[in-house]
């Protein structure tokens, strides 16, 4: 009998997590099943408890339940405590619920897969919401010389920078008056998918082979990536981050690390 895993969200029909984890299981020979469960907006914790009562071993959590998942955990990883959110749940042998967030690990590993160095670089992160908070600790652990968080509401960016200021050189700013010359620019907003773009300067990127990374992905380049490519930056979308964060969850559950490259290639072809 295979172990049960799932992803919780609302809505959840669009999720690629079942495809990814079923591919990981087939590749590694792990006896596990993985499904998508749409939890009621006011019933996430009950949905998790019901899943566990029916043999569930672990779960991924996506919007809008990452903060609720954080609150239900008995034990949290240090990076989940920093992020204030959880995207990976694991049922311990003692019946306790352990929570982690793997988004930041997924981002940093995907950048590494594309040979994008962060150590000693100037990094700009666009946005100051939950998606950005969830990746800052692993991002700062990679040793950039500077991280600037830019947001429409300057105070929110500055507050986020203060929260992570003990981990490295990080500051908050608005979009207006941003300096240029960044080596890596990461879009952590969803604005580009709706055809919007923050007011960014044309000299945002350094001339030394800069990288533009959008945490979103689509069949065609997002507005942000198209804008960045036109200014000489190398455009990368977030599909690899999705696969890498899933691989980290899979490793925590099964203690086996899958090969992400063929799974990512299959997903890319299917977009």
Active site residues: 66
Cis upstream peptide for 11 (omega within 30°) = yes
The phi and psi torsions of 219 (rounded to 5 degrees) equal -65, -35
Q: Tokens standing for 79?
A: 């990076």
Beta-carbon contacts of 163 under 8 Å, excluding residues fewer than 6 positions away, are 133
5 within 8 A of 244, measured Cβ to Cβ: no
| Contacts by 170-178, CB closer than 8 A, 24 or more apart | 170/136, 170/140, 170/146, 171/146, 171/147, 172/128, 172/148, 173/148, 173/149, 174/150, 175/126, 175/150, 175/151, 175/199, 175/200, 178/124, 178/148, 178/150, 178/204
């Amino acid at each position: 009998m295979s172990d049960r895993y799932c992803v919780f969200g609302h809505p959840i029909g669009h999720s690629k997590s079942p495809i990814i984890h079923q591919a990981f299981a087939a590749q590694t020979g792990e006896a596990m099943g993985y499904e998508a469960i749409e939890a009621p907006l006011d019933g996430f914790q009950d949905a998790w408890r019901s899943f566990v009562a029916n043999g569930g071993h672990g779960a991924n959590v996506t919007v809008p339940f990452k903060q609720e998942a954080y609150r239900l955990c008995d034990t949290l990883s240090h990076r989940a405590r920093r992020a204030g959110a959880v995207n990976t749940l694991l049922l311990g042998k003692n019946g306790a619920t352990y929570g982690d967030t793997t988004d930041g690990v997924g981002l940093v590993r995907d950048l590494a897969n594309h040979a994008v160095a962060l150590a000693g670089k100037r990094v700009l992160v666009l946005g100051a919401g939950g998606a950005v908070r969830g990746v800052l600790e692993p991002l700062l652990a990679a040793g950039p010389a500077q991280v600037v968080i830019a947001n429409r509401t300057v105070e929110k960016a500055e507050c986020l920078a203060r929260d992570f200021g003990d981990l490295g050189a990080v500051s908050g700013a608005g979009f207006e008056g941003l300096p240029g010359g960044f080596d890596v620019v990461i879009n952590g907003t969803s604005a580009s998918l709706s055809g919007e773009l923050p007011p960014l300067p044309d000299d945002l990127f350094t001339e030394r082979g800069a990288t533009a990374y959008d945490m979103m992905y689509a069949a065609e380049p997002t507005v942000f990536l198209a804008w960045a490519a036109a200014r000489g930056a190398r455009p990368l979308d977030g599909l690899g981050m999705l696969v890498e964060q899933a691989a980290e969850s899979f490793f925590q559950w099964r203690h086996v690390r899958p090969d992400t490259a063929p799974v990512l290639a299959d997903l890319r072809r299917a977009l």
